Amino acid sequence: MRTVFFILVLANVAFFAFPWFGGGAEASGDAQIIGKQLNPEKIRLLAPEQVSALTRKPEPPKLATVCLEWGAFVGADATRAGQALELLGLGAKLAQRRQEDVAGFWVYIPPLASRQSATQKAGELKRLGVDDYFVVPDDPKWRNAISLGVFKTEEAAKARLDALRAKGVKSATSGARDTQLGKTYFQVREANATGAAKLNELKQGFAGTEVRECAPDEKKG
Protein backbone atom coordinates (compact mmCIF):
# COMPACT_ATOMS: atom_id res chain seq x y z
CA MET A 1 0.00 0.00 0.00
CA ARG A 2 2.82 2.36 0.88
CA THR A 3 4.33 1.87 -2.57
CA VAL A 4 1.07 2.67 -4.31
CA PHE A 5 0.72 5.77 -2.11
CA PHE A 6 4.15 7.09 -3.14
CA ILE A 7 3.41 6.48 -6.83
CA LEU A 8 0.21 8.51 -6.58
CA VAL A 9 2.01 11.32 -4.82
CA LEU A 10 4.74 11.49 -7.48
CA ALA A 11 2.11 11.47 -10.23
CA ASN A 12 0.31 14.42 -8.66
CA VAL A 13 3.55 16.34 -8.21
CA ALA A 14 4.48 15.77 -11.87
CA PHE A 15 1.01 16.84 -13.02
CA PHE A 16 1.09 20.13 -11.14
CA ALA A 17 4.75 20.86 -11.96
CA PHE A 18 4.39 20.47 -15.76
CA PRO A 19 2.81 23.91 -16.44
CA TRP A 20 5.65 25.52 -14.47
CA PHE A 21 8.51 23.76 -16.19
CA GLY A 22 7.41 22.20 -19.52
CA GLY A 23 4.66 24.72 -20.31
CA GLY A 24 6.84 27.61 -19.20
CA ALA A 25 9.58 26.55 -21.59
CA GLU A 26 7.09 26.42 -24.42
CA ALA A 27 5.73 29.82 -23.50
CA SER A 28 9.26 31.15 -23.29
CA GLY A 29 9.98 29.77 -26.77
CA ASP A 30 6.87 31.45 -28.21
CA ALA A 31 7.87 34.70 -26.64
CA GLN A 32 11.28 34.47 -28.26
CA ILE A 33 9.72 33.87 -31.68
CA ILE A 34 7.35 36.82 -31.25
CA GLY A 35 10.24 38.93 -30.05
CA LYS A 36 12.16 38.12 -33.20
CA GLN A 37 9.18 38.91 -35.37
CA LEU A 38 8.37 42.30 -33.86
CA ASN A 39 11.13 44.86 -34.39
CA PRO A 40 9.51 48.26 -33.81
CA GLU A 41 12.72 50.13 -34.53
CA LYS A 42 12.76 48.70 -38.07
CA ILE A 43 9.22 49.77 -38.99
CA ARG A 44 9.12 52.71 -41.42
CA LEU A 45 5.96 54.53 -42.49
CA LEU A 46 5.72 55.27 -46.24
CA ALA A 47 5.01 58.77 -47.50
CA PRO A 48 1.84 59.20 -49.66
CA GLU A 49 3.89 59.56 -52.84
CA GLN A 50 5.74 56.32 -52.03
CA VAL A 51 2.44 54.46 -51.58
CA SER A 52 1.21 55.95 -54.87
CA ALA A 53 4.39 54.82 -56.64
CA LEU A 54 3.85 51.25 -55.45
CA THR A 55 0.27 51.13 -56.74
CA ARG A 56 0.78 53.09 -59.97
CA LYS A 57 0.64 51.04 -63.16
CA PRO A 58 3.75 51.39 -65.37
CA GLU A 59 3.22 53.60 -68.41
CA PRO A 60 3.39 51.81 -71.78
CA PRO A 61 6.59 52.51 -73.73
CA LYS A 62 6.33 55.30 -76.31
CA LEU A 63 6.69 54.22 -79.92
CA ALA A 64 9.40 55.89 -81.95
CA THR A 65 8.05 58.37 -84.47
CA VAL A 66 9.52 60.22 -87.43
CA CYS A 67 8.48 62.81 -90.03
CA LEU A 68 7.97 61.14 -93.41
CA GLU A 69 7.61 62.79 -96.82
CA TRP A 70 5.91 61.20 -99.83
CA GLY A 71 6.29 62.59 -103.35
CA ALA A 72 6.74 64.08 -105.75
CA PHE A 73 3.31 64.50 -107.35
CA VAL A 74 2.30 66.53 -110.39
CA GLY A 75 -1.19 67.48 -111.52
CA ALA A 76 -3.99 64.96 -111.01
CA ASP A 77 -1.74 62.53 -109.13
CA ALA A 78 -1.40 65.05 -106.29
CA THR A 79 -5.19 65.17 -105.93
CA ARG A 80 -5.49 61.40 -106.03
CA ALA A 81 -2.73 60.92 -103.43
CA GLY A 82 -4.33 63.53 -101.16
CA GLN A 83 -7.64 61.67 -101.29
CA ALA A 84 -5.93 58.40 -100.41
CA LEU A 85 -4.24 60.03 -97.41
CA GLU A 86 -7.50 61.50 -96.14
CA LEU A 87 -8.80 57.96 -95.62
CA LEU A 88 -6.03 57.38 -93.04
CA GLY A 89 -7.49 60.03 -90.72
CA LEU A 90 -4.15 61.73 -90.04
CA GLY A 91 -5.68 65.09 -89.15
CA ALA A 92 -3.15 67.73 -88.10
CA LYS A 93 -0.26 65.31 -88.70
CA LEU A 94 -0.70 65.66 -92.47
CA ALA A 95 0.84 68.62 -94.32
CA GLN A 96 1.80 69.56 -97.88
CA ARG A 97 4.95 71.03 -99.33
CA ARG A 98 4.88 72.71 -102.72
CA GLN A 99 7.98 73.07 -104.88
CA GLU A 100 8.02 75.17 -108.02
CA ASP A 101 10.83 74.40 -110.44
CA VAL A 102 11.37 77.02 -113.12
CA ALA A 103 13.48 74.93 -115.41
CA GLY A 104 15.50 76.16 -118.30
CA PHE A 105 16.76 72.60 -118.85
CA TRP A 106 15.82 69.17 -117.65
CA VAL A 107 16.98 65.57 -117.87
CA TYR A 108 14.30 63.05 -118.77
CA ILE A 109 13.33 59.81 -120.42
CA PRO A 110 11.00 60.54 -123.35
CA PRO A 111 7.30 59.62 -123.06
CA LEU A 112 6.66 55.90 -122.97
CA ALA A 113 3.77 54.10 -124.64
CA SER A 114 1.67 53.60 -121.47
CA ARG A 115 1.60 54.17 -117.75
CA GLN A 116 2.51 50.52 -117.23
CA SER A 117 5.63 50.96 -119.37
CA ALA A 118 6.54 54.05 -117.35
CA THR A 119 6.09 52.11 -114.11
CA GLN A 120 8.35 49.33 -115.37
CA LYS A 121 10.99 51.87 -116.39
CA ALA A 122 10.76 53.47 -112.95
CA GLY A 123 11.46 50.06 -111.42
CA GLU A 124 14.58 49.74 -113.58
CA LEU A 125 15.78 53.15 -112.41
CA LYS A 126 15.28 52.09 -108.80
CA ARG A 127 17.36 48.96 -109.31
CA LEU A 128 20.13 51.09 -110.85
CA GLY A 129 20.24 53.24 -107.72
CA VAL A 130 18.36 56.25 -109.11
CA ASP A 131 15.93 57.69 -106.55
CA ASP A 132 15.27 61.25 -107.73
CA TYR A 133 12.68 60.90 -110.49
CA PHE A 134 8.95 61.05 -111.13
CA VAL A 135 6.55 60.04 -113.89
CA VAL A 136 4.83 62.95 -115.66
CA PRO A 137 1.12 62.04 -115.40
CA ASP A 138 -1.08 64.42 -117.35
CA ASP A 139 0.91 66.80 -119.53
CA PRO A 140 -0.48 66.42 -123.08
CA LYS A 141 2.99 66.54 -124.60
CA TRP A 142 5.02 64.76 -121.90
CA ARG A 143 2.56 62.23 -120.44
CA ASN A 144 4.40 59.09 -119.20
CA ALA A 145 7.79 60.74 -119.61
CA ILE A 146 10.10 60.33 -116.61
CA SER A 147 11.69 63.47 -115.24
CA LEU A 148 15.16 62.94 -113.78
CA GLY A 149 15.87 66.49 -112.70
CA VAL A 150 15.34 70.13 -113.68
CA PHE A 151 18.14 72.70 -113.87
CA LYS A 152 18.68 76.38 -114.53
CA THR A 153 21.74 75.85 -116.74
CA GLU A 154 22.55 73.49 -119.55
CA GLU A 155 25.87 72.58 -117.91
CA ALA A 156 24.11 71.35 -114.76
CA ALA A 157 21.70 69.28 -116.83
CA LYS A 158 24.58 67.67 -118.74
CA ALA A 159 26.38 66.87 -115.49
CA ARG A 160 23.27 65.09 -114.23
CA LEU A 161 22.97 63.20 -117.51
CA ASP A 162 26.58 62.04 -117.31
CA ALA A 163 26.05 60.80 -113.76
CA LEU A 164 22.97 58.84 -114.83
CA ARG A 165 24.75 57.24 -117.77
CA ALA A 166 27.55 56.20 -115.44
CA LYS A 167 24.91 54.24 -113.49
CA GLY A 168 23.68 52.53 -116.66
CA VAL A 169 20.70 54.75 -117.56
CA LYS A 170 20.97 54.72 -121.35
CA SER A 171 17.58 56.08 -122.42
CA ALA A 172 17.84 59.45 -120.64
CA THR A 173 18.46 62.68 -122.51
CA SER A 174 18.52 66.40 -121.72
CA GLY A 175 16.87 69.41 -123.33
CA ALA A 176 15.27 72.80 -122.85
CA ARG A 177 12.11 73.13 -120.79
CA ASP A 178 10.66 76.60 -120.45
CA THR A 179 7.49 75.75 -118.56
CA GLN A 180 7.14 75.93 -114.79
CA LEU A 181 6.98 72.54 -113.13
CA GLY A 182 5.06 72.41 -109.83
CA LYS A 183 5.57 69.41 -107.58
CA THR A 184 3.64 68.48 -104.43
CA TYR A 185 5.00 66.54 -101.47
CA PHE A 186 2.90 65.17 -98.60
CA GLN A 187 4.40 65.12 -95.11
CA VAL A 188 3.21 62.96 -92.22
CA ARG A 189 4.45 64.19 -88.84
CA GLU A 190 5.00 61.79 -85.93
CA ALA A 191 4.56 58.71 -88.09
CA ASN A 192 5.24 55.38 -86.36
CA ALA A 193 6.07 52.03 -87.92
CA THR A 194 2.41 51.37 -88.76
CA GLY A 195 2.07 54.75 -90.47
CA ALA A 196 5.25 54.17 -92.47
CA ALA A 197 3.94 50.79 -93.64
CA LYS A 198 0.67 52.37 -94.81
CA LEU A 199 2.51 55.06 -96.78
CA ASN A 200 4.70 52.50 -98.49
CA GLU A 201 1.59 50.51 -99.35
CA LEU A 202 -0.04 53.56 -100.94
CA LYS A 203 3.18 54.30 -102.82
CA GLN A 204 2.73 51.16 -104.90
CA GLY A 205 -0.08 52.87 -106.81
CA PHE A 206 2.00 55.92 -107.76
CA ALA A 207 4.97 55.16 -109.98
CA GLY A 208 8.02 57.32 -109.48
CA THR A 209 7.14 58.43 -105.94
CA GLU A 210 9.21 57.78 -102.85
CA VAL A 211 8.62 57.74 -99.09
CA ARG A 212 11.57 59.13 -97.17
CA GLU A 213 12.37 61.04 -94.00
CA CYS A 214 11.68 64.76 -94.06
CA ALA A 215 14.59 67.13 -94.55
CA PRO A 216 16.02 68.42 -91.22
CA ASP A 217 14.62 71.91 -91.75
CA GLU A 218 11.15 70.49 -92.49
CA LYS A 219 10.77 68.28 -89.40
CA LYS A 220 9.88 71.10 -87.03
CA GLY A 221 7.48 72.92 -89.32
Whole-model pTM?
A: 0.46
Among 98, 113, 69, residue whose Cα is nearest residue 180 = 98
Q: Residues 58-83: pLDDT tens digits?
A: 666 656 788 999 988 877 788 899 99
Q: Please say whether the beta carbons of 216 and 118 come within 8 A.
A: no
Q: Please say whether the beta carbons of 147 and 31 come within 8 A.
A: no
Query: Helices 193-203 and 76-86: crossing angle, nearest 10°?
Result: 140
DSSP state of 148: E
CA distance 99 to 72: 9
Q: Residues 98-136: pLDDT tens digits?
A: 887 666 888 999 999 998 999 899 999 989 999 888 888
Residue 25: pLDDT band by 50, 70, 90 thresholds?
A: very low
DSSP state of 88: T
